[in-house]
Amino acid sequence: MAEQVLSESAWEKFSSFVQRKIFRSYRARLNYQYKRGGWDWLAALDEMAHHAILGGYFRFNKKGGTLLDLGCGEGVLQDNIGHENYSYYIGVDLSDDAIRIANERRGNEKTFFYQGNMDKYVPPRKFDVIAINEALYFSEDPLKLLSRLEAYLETDGFFMISMVDKRGDHIWDVLNKHYAFLDENYVTNIKKITWVCRMLKRAA
């Protein structure tokens, strides 16, 4: 009886299943979801308002500056900032497939996307702004993450963060004890989902 050989496609599906279902790999689950369009909704009309607020923060305060986007997904925030409004941009996400899509659609000579875990990622330089858009919930220790990243902010730089209201309340409570909120906006879409968007930096 001839030995059965799995095709690469079948092997990839099997490997993904093992990682997702047996080893419970969050990275594998994300890749599976991105491959099947499971995160396409992030670019939908009803998601645009909170992206636009963060984009506005950057353009108003740091137009022409540098940006690190952690938990960037496919790079939707970059669309709302506009490539003409920054000099250098790095996006980082845990999902290999999100990064592949981001580089294919949005990568250029000053825009780079890399796979990485934001809790472990070491930036290559300082940035004017570090954005964490709809991703801070996934950090093992949000306060520790921001404290570490302070070393990679320019002297007059700041964080800009967006989280769904209520889901991020406990994180905001912790950050409020250590950071000054420079501005904040609440935006609610047609589905009655509310986001809290804030600019912040370490309190003096």
More confident of the two residues 42 and 36:
36
Query: Which pLDDT band holds residue 46 (cuts at 50, 70, 90)?
Result: confident
Query: Which pLDDT band holds residue 38 (cuts at 50, 70, 90)?
Result: low
Going by C-beta distance under 8 Å and a sequence separation of 6 or more, which residues neighbour residue 3? none
Architecture of the domain made up of 43-202: 3-Layer(aba) Sandwich (3.40)
Of 19-23, 130-134, 142-146, the least confident: 19-23
More confident of the two residues 17 and 27:
27
Q: What is the CA radius of gyration of the chain?
A: 18
Beta-ladder partners of 130? 68, 159
pTM of the model: 0.82
CA–CA separation, 83 vs 191, rounded Å?
30
pLDDT for residue 37: 67
CA–CA separation, 165 vs 18, rounded Å?
34
Whether pLDDT at 41 is above 80? no
More confident of the two residues 36 and 143:
143
Query: Which pLDDT band holds residue 42 (cuts at 50, 70, 90)?
Result: low
**Total residues found in the chain within this entry:** 204
Is 128 in a helix, a strand, or coil?
Answer: strand
As a whole number, mean pLDDT of residues 10-22 equals: 43
**CB-hemisphere CA count at 13 Å for 186?**
7
The arrangement of strands across the sheet holding 86-93 comes to: 111-115, 86-93, 65-70, 127-133, 153-164, 194-202, 179-188
The stretches of the chain forming alpha helices (DSSP H) are 8-17, 26-35, 48-62, 76-81, 96-106, 142-149, 169-175
More confident of the two residues 140 and 46:
140
Enumerate the domain spans of the chain. Answer: 8-38, 43-202
What pLDDT digit, counting tens, does each position of 147-172 carry?
A: 999 999 999 999 999 999 988 999 99
